[in-house]
Amino acid sequence: MDATPVSAPAAAVPVGEAATPRASVLRMDGIGKRFGQFQALTDVSLELCAGEVHCLLGENGAGKSTLCNVMFGVHQPDAGAMWLDGAPYRPHSPRDALTHGIAMVHQHFSLVEDVSVLDNLLLGQARGWLDRKREAQRVRVLVAELGLALDPDARVADLSVGEKQRVEIVKCLIREPRLLVLDEPTAVLLPAEIDALLNTCAKVVERGCAVVLVTHKLAEIRRIANRATVLQSGRVVARSSNPSADVDALVRAMIQRPAQANDAQPADNTVRAVAPAATPSASPYGRPLADEALQVDGLTVRDADGVMRLQDCTLVVNRGEIVGIAGVEGNGQSELGAVLAGMQKASAGRFFVQGKDCTHAAPQTLTRAGVGVVPEDRHAVGCVPDMSVTDNLFLNRLDDYARRGFMRRRAMRRDARTLMQRFDVRAASPDVAFRGLSGGNQQKAVLARELTLDGLAVLVAAQPTRGLDVGAVAAVYEHIRAARDDGVGVLLISSELDELMAVADRVLVMYRGRIMGTCVPDKSQLTLQRERIGAWMAGQTA
């Protein structure tokens, strides 16, 4: 059954028929949470029942993890109330939540790598004399009941990603919780490991436990969900008591926005989208190969655990074009950006900058080839925080200011002031430490350095607006558009779909390391295009 169009973000749209009532484990009424000026959750109400898997859906930044962290006592709500088994519940810490029978598996592992599985499982639980043999047997019985393969004596550092995920889950289940919260647990797993995890969820709910599963993946919703709730901008916008039948409506609720005049659907109800190019030489729009700034040919990346992160990625970025890469984080975008920046080696495939093979080039060589890089983590790899703003602005061309073994500091400061004014980088002086700048000013400084690179041909910008305020976001995209207009080819990797649709000339969607489809944004078809892109992001091909 389709959802009624969402007329206001605050209103939840019921989807599907009412399900048979089950015993309520946790009820949340009117939950609100603010971080500074940012309202992360607004008037969120949710009921989690015993013996059910409740899927929590929404785009990146919709408030899903914040809501889970409120359940688990990581954050305390600013408004609203919670009841656990009918009694008031207000946890002040994760330990408090665990005491009340609520356990959570976070997006990122929290294991001690150098000790055994058993030691990790017992951390914070064992008191007094520890009978390791008895505890190991208890673990073996539990994992056998759940159909998991896990050796209590194995060292965590020697486990695969999927096995580590099992440890996290067993670490929660060994406490026999009433509510298990899983925050995007399948993002790093192989298909077989995902199947095993979903089988475990099914067995857990058979034991009477309530499970919250945060996911973007349609196959998981169809297979395991008893109920589903969609968040958008921190508000509940849709609910379903029959998610497997209502997947399409749930996807629409995840991605739709209040209707605009230019969102009218075309009469033929079609989406203007094309399949990804079969070969790197097939340039879009029939443009000649000479227009190609960047050509990516079958790039593949396996991580240290052998997990395929990027699979046979093939794309072209033309001069004077912004190509956006959309997708839920963790689907190969970071690996693609890292390979193109020279910070990670490809397991297979090649890439070319202006026709030159740069597959194995070091970052310095890529800079000389005309590749500018705005990295995903500007603090870790985009700057040297303890150096001055001036030094950071010219990290990629310090040789230009060297003369007879000395740096021309006066010329550097003069040129730094010019760049700071041009890119609106606000600091007391060019000599202040880079770490003293706000996040927006740091990002504008990194962008200034990369966009003024001599011979710039390609800009690889990964999550360039993450953590920035509205004004800084607008400034970043103004400069990226200007570079495009000057003939630079831009590969823009972002988890913000609205930004990509507004800025990019083409949008490619990645899922599990593969390009699922390509869309040319069209203001007259934005609603339909968002639906198609949302389906691709969740792994749906048709």
Is residue 407 very low, low, confident or very high in pLDDT (cuts 50, 70, 90)? confident
Is 266-370+455-542 a domain of CATH 2.40.160.40? no
Range in 59-63, 166-170, 402-406, 526-530 with the lowest mean pLDDT: 59-63
Is residue 361 very low, low, confident or very high in pLDDT (cuts 50, 70, 90)? very high
Is residue 184 very low, low, confident or very high in pLDDT (cuts 50, 70, 90)? confident
Q: What's the confidence (pLDDT) of residue 256?
A: 65
Q: What's the confidence (pLDDT) of residue 142?
A: 79
Question: Does 272 have pLDDT greater than 50?
Answer: no
Q: What is the mean pLDDT of the chain?
A: 81
Question: Does 225 have pLDDT greater than 60?
Answer: yes
Is 13-113+178-256 a domain of CATH 3.40.50.300? yes
- Those residues whose C-beta lies under 8 Å from the C-beta of residue 38, and which sit 6 or more positions away, are none
Are 295 and 491 in contact by the 8 Å Cβ rule? The answer is no
In whole angstroms, what is the distance from residue 403 CA to residue 34 CA?
53
Q: What's the confidence (pLDDT) of residue 380?
A: 72
Q: Encode 144-165: b = buried (16+ Cβ within 10 Å), e = exposed.
A: eebebebbbeeebeebebbbbb
Q: What's the confidence (pLDDT) of residue 108?
A: 66
Q: What's the confidence (pLDDT) of residue 420?
A: 92
Q: What's the confidence (pLDDT) of residue 289?
A: 47
Average pLDDT over residues 243-252: 85
Q: What's the confidence (pLDDT) of residue 542?
A: 55
More confident residue, 158 or 56: 56
Average pLDDT over residues 489-509: 91
Note the pLDDT tens digit of each residue in 124-133. 665 667 677 8
In whole angstroms, what is the distance from residue 531 CA to residue 538 CA?
11
- Sequence ranges of the domains in the chain: 13-113+178-256, 266-370+455-542, 383-452
In whole angstroms, what is the distance from residue 500 CA to residue 323 CA?
9
> Phi first, then psi: what are they for 109, rounded to 5°?
-65, 145
Average pLDDT over residues 459-470: 79
Token couple for 142: 């539990």
CA atoms within 13 A on the CB side of 169: 31
User: Whole-prediction pTM value?
Assistant: 0.57
Range in 19-28, 293-302, 352-361, 496-505 with the lowest mean pLDDT: 19-28
Number of residues that this document lists for the chain: 542
Note the pLDDT tens digit of each residue in 195-215. 777 888 888 898 899 999 988
Note the pLDDT tens digit of each residue in 40-72. 899 999 999 999 999 998 876 688 889 999 999
In whole angstroms, what is the distance from residue 407 CA to residue 402 CA?
5
- CA end-to-end distance (rounded Å), the chain: 19
Are 353 and 389 in contact by the 8 Å Cβ rule? The answer is no
Is residue 14 very low, low, confident or very high in pLDDT (cuts 50, 70, 90)? low
Q: What's the confidence (pLDDT) of residue 255?
A: 67
Question: Does 438 have pLDDT greater than 90?
Answer: no
